[in-house]
Amino acid sequence: MPVLLLRLQEATAGGEAAFTPFSINTGLIFWTIVVFLILLGLLWRLGWPAILKSVEERERRIQQQLDEAERARAEAQRLLEEHRRLAASAKAEAQELIANAKAIADKERATLLAKAREEYEDLLARARKDIEEEREKAILALRREAVDLSIAAASKLLEAQLDNEANRRLVTEYLATLEERR
């Protein structure tokens, strides 16, 4: 330690004293202050802000992007939920629609069937009536024809038999009775 102090004294006392690793040079203190303060000032103004500003802006940008991604995710989730809900309701609606259509079709079919049956019954009844009428008519016509035929036949027969002796006698007899009755 005394050696160190001696060295210090030696170094600081005389301007041109020999330098040692332990000497403290007042000029160097001055220069250190000057150099360091100039560097500090320059870097404070020109050096660090350039780096830190960019870094902070990048941090902000990344944070913003993260926030945006989170927002987008939430939005997508919401949309998905909505779509799911919409799809479900659409499905229900479609099913209801189908059910309604089926019901309507069933009803329609039933009414159509009923109408068709009615018509068919109607038709059948009319046909039956017509047939009946035709038959009556035919029977009537047949009967008339038969009468005509039998009359014709009878007249033929009568005609043929009028020449007969027996018939002559019959008529004469009949005429005789007529005379008797009078």
Partner 1 sequence: MMQGPDIGKAIFEHTSDSRVVELPFGLGEWHLPTGWHLFGIDVSPTKHVVFMVVAAILVFVTVRIAGRQIERRHREGKAPHGFGAAIEAIVLFVRNDVAIANIGHGGEKFAPYILTLFFFILYCNLFGLLPWGATATGNLAVTGTLALTAFVTVEVSGLVTLGPKGYLKTIVFVPPGITGIGAVLMALIMTPIEIIGKLVKPFALTLRLFANMTAGHFVILALLGLIFIFSSWLVAAATVAFVVFMMLLELLVAFLQAYIFALLTSVFIGMMRHAH
Binding site for partner 1 (CB under 8 A): 15-16, 19-33, 35-40, 42-44, 46-48, 50-55, 57-58
**Alpha carbons 114 and 106: distance in angstroms, whole number:** 12
**Residues ≥6 apart with Cβ < 8 Å to 25:** 11, 12, 19
C-beta of 27 vs 181, nearer to partner 1: 27
Query: Tokens 């009775």 label which residue?
Result: 177
Task: Tell me how many degrees the CA angle 128-142-132 measures, rounded to the nearest 5.
Answer: 10
One DSSP character per residue, 67-134 reads HHHHHHHHHHHHHHHHHHHHHHHHHHHHHHHHHHHHHHHHHHHHHHHHHHHHHHHHHHHHHHHHHHHH
The least distance separating partner 1 from the CB of residue 8, rounded to whole angstroms, comes to: 9
C-beta of 64 vs 177, nearer to partner 1: 64
The least distance separating partner 1 from the CB of residue 72, rounded to whole angstroms, comes to: 19
The least distance separating partner 1 from the CB of residue 50, rounded to whole angstroms, comes to: 3
The least distance separating partner 1 from the CB of residue 68, rounded to whole angstroms, comes to: 15
C-beta of 28 vs 124, nearer to partner 1: 28
Report the amino acid identity of residue 145.
Answer: E
C-beta of 37 vs 116, nearer to partner 1: 37
The least distance separating partner 1 from the CB of residue 12, rounded to whole angstroms, comes to: 10
CB–CB of 11/25 below 8 Å? yes
C-beta of 41 vs 131, nearer to partner 1: 41
